[in-house]
Amino acid sequence: MAQFTDDIFFASTAELQRGIRDKRYTSVELTRAFCDRMERLGPRFGAMALSMRETAMRQAHDADGYFLRDRVRSPLQGIPFGVKDLVAAAGGPTTWGAKPYAGQMFEEDATVLKRLLKVGGVNIAKLSMVELAGGGGYRFAAASLQGPGLNPWDRTRWSGGSSSGSGAAVAAGLVPYALGSETSGSILTPAAFCGVTGLRPTYGLAPRTGCMALSWTLDKIGPLARSAEDCALVLQAIAGGDADDPGSAGKRFYYAPQFATPLSEVRVGYHPGDFTGGVAEETRAAFGQALDAVAKLGVRLVEVKIPDYPYGAMVSTIISAEMGSIFEELVESGKVDELADRRQIAGIKASQEVTAKDYLRAMRLRRLVQQDFAKLFYEQADLLLSPSRTTIANKISEPLDRPLPSGTPMIPAGNLAGLPALSLPCGFANGMPVGIALVGPAYSENKLLAFGNAFQKLTDWHRKRPPA
């Protein structure tokens, strides 16, 4: 019987698969160990919505069959993972983190899940989330069917929304990687708060068929994982055209680090104020160290100023208008009142009143945002650098609408423009992780990941583990 230590539970996908191929353990043994850990510790962090042990063991057995025949379909073959509970998975409820949907069942897996299973991945759990992916806004971290996501670094603090379970599960070594979703910050936030790596793909690159919709023109599915390389391997497996997703770009993603642009030729734009006055005082030293590490990579750091738009108001209007249509039946049935957060209930009800005039005005401005960012990337920088979040994770007892440092508008701006982003652990403040985010032009994931790989070879923040 194989012995599984924390070194295994915090290993990369490549390291885990190497153990299978070297016959130190089988995928079945590895999966059983991760399932045991998920079921034991998942509730401790509010991370597990549903154990998928029964189907996972069958998937692991199939993966071992391929290994016995020396057939390896993917670097992810035989490796356990989890998915945010807005990703449909046959064989159990998909609750969207919300009481009105607690018994909701789907007969078919979401397309992204199908693609991970097709390359031999093993889905061991549905992971908790903020109800309805935070649609309507929410005041407290407890806005979830499973309760608040608790941060493995300090369980009095939040793991971040709305992919709270995905961030906590990866940080706690419950899964090597997980799928999350982002409409405006829901991959980057838990990645930063939990000290893991998170990749938000270009809008339309990963299919959303079978995933809960919050905003048709903003929703994106992406990975949270141990490293930039693991994120790349997951994106390669899930990306690609999907005729059933009207927002699909019809493009594939091939991870090609061998063709990466030399970092000495990469212009990285940043605004110095984003790392000083724009962040919480306790995080400034960590962000300063992160900037020093970036400079050591040999990139060309250039000061830039992003286009000036009311990003927050724009993204709020677009989400509200599209969510209002998506959840119209929930409001009309009265079941919206079953949600856990009173502010969110009010926000979803108010979404029914957004006017076409306001929505169209926001969409017209959005097009200008896309044009101005395209011009910025063409003329001034290849990538943009900013803090992922300006503070450490908040206490779960604190209201989320408390005043915060103004920080960077790159989360709403990048989502409005449909741009990819990569959040990298970059240090600690008061014992809690902080992260930096890189944003690039559409379909520049390979360039982002090349930077991320180089940064993580130079630093070891992504290898730090929460207290036992």
Domain edges within the chain: 6-257, 312-351
pLDDT at 366: 98
pLDDT at 401: 81
The closest alpha carbon to 26, from 81, 78, 77, 74, belongs to: 78
402, amino acid identity: R
pLDDT tops 80 at residue 190: yes
What is the chain's mean pLDDT, rounded? Answer: 96
Q: How many of the other CB atoms lie within 10 Å of CB of 175?
A: 30
Q: Residue 277 — very low, low, confident or very high, per pLDDT cuts 50/70/90?
A: confident
Q: Residue 276 — very low, low, confident or very high, per pLDDT cuts 50/70/90?
A: confident
Sign of CA dihedral 392, 396, 397, 403: positive
pLDDT at 91: 86
| CB contact set of 351 (below 8 Å; sequence gap of 6+) | 135, 136, 320, 321, 323, 324, 327
| CB contact set of 234 (below 8 Å; sequence gap of 6+) | 76, 81, 116, 177, 179, 199, 223, 225
pLDDT tops 80 at residue 408: no
Look at the pTM and tell me if it is higher than 0.75.
Answer: yes
Return d(Cα 351, Cα 356) in angstroms, integer.
12
pLDDT tops 90 at residue 403: no
pLDDT at 393: 97
Count Cα atoms within 13 angstroms, Cβ side, for 94: 20
Cβ–Cβ < 8 Å for 52, 89: yes
pLDDT at 368: 98
pLDDT tops 60 at residue 406: no
pLDDT at 103: 95
Which element (helix H / strand E) includes 177?
strand 177-182
pLDDT tops 90 at residue 167: yes
pLDDT at 45: 98
Return d(Cα 110, Cα 244) in angstroms, integer.
11
Q: Residue 405 — very low, low, confident or very high, per pLDDT cuts 50/70/90?
A: low
Q: Report long-range pairs for 454-459 (Cβ below 8 Å, ≥24 apart).
A: 454/263, 454/297, 455/228, 455/293, 455/294, 455/297, 455/424, 456/197, 456/227, 456/228, 456/229, 456/424, 458/293, 458/296, 458/297, 459/293, 459/426
pLDDT at 16: 98
418, amino acid identity: G
pLDDT-wise least confident of 46-50, 117-121, 257-261, 455-459: 257-261
Q: Identify the burial level of 147 via C-beta atoms within 10 angstroms of its C-beta, where 0-12 means exposed, 13-18 middle and 19 or more buried.
A: middle
Query: Cα-flanking dihedrals φ and ψ of residue 177, to 5°?
Result: -155, 165
Q: Residue 407 — very low, low, confident or very high, per pLDDT cuts 50/70/90?
A: low
pLDDT at 404: 59
Q: How many of the other CB atoms lie within 10 Å of CB of 381?
A: 23
CATH fold, domain 6-257, is Amidase signature (AS) enzymes (3.90.1300)
| CB contact set of 310 (below 8 Å; sequence gap of 6+) | 365
pLDDT at 3: 85
Return d(Cα 159, Cα 207) in angstroms, integer.
26
Return d(Cα 320, Cα 152) in angstroms, integer.
32
pLDDT tops 90 at residue 48: yes
Cβ–Cβ < 8 Å for 267, 300: yes
Chain segment 69-115, per-residue pLDDT in tens? 999 999 999 999 999 999 999 989 999 999 999 999 999 999 999 99
| CB contact set of 56 (below 8 Å; sequence gap of 6+) | 31, 35, 80, 122, 123, 124
Query: Cα-flanking dihedrals φ and ψ of residue 210, to 5°?
Result: 90, 5
Instruction: Give me 157's structure tokens.
Output: 């603090």
CA distances from 273 to 57, 406, 408, 439 (A): 50, 11, 9, 17
Cβ–Cβ < 8 Å for 231, 422: yes
| CB contact set of 178 (below 8 Å; sequence gap of 6+) | 81, 82, 83, 84, 127, 163, 165, 166, 167, 169, 170, 223, 224, 225
DSSP-derived secondary structure for 63-122: HHHHHHTT----TTTT-EEEEETTB--TTSB--TTSGGGTT-B-SS--HHHHHHHHTT-E
Sign of CA dihedral 143, 148, 154, 160: negative
Strand partners, 127: 48, 84
Instruction: Give me 380's structure tokens.
Output: 């001034």
Overall average pLDDT of the 426-445 stretch:
98
Which element (helix H / strand E) includes 214?
none
Cβ–Cβ < 8 Å for 168, 46: yes
Q: Which residues are catalytic?
A: 84, 162, 186
The closest alpha carbon to 92, from 132, 131, 52, 56, belongs to: 52
DSSP at 402: S
Sign of CA dihedral 451, 453, 459, 462: positive
Return d(Cα 387, Cα 189) in angstroms, integer.
10
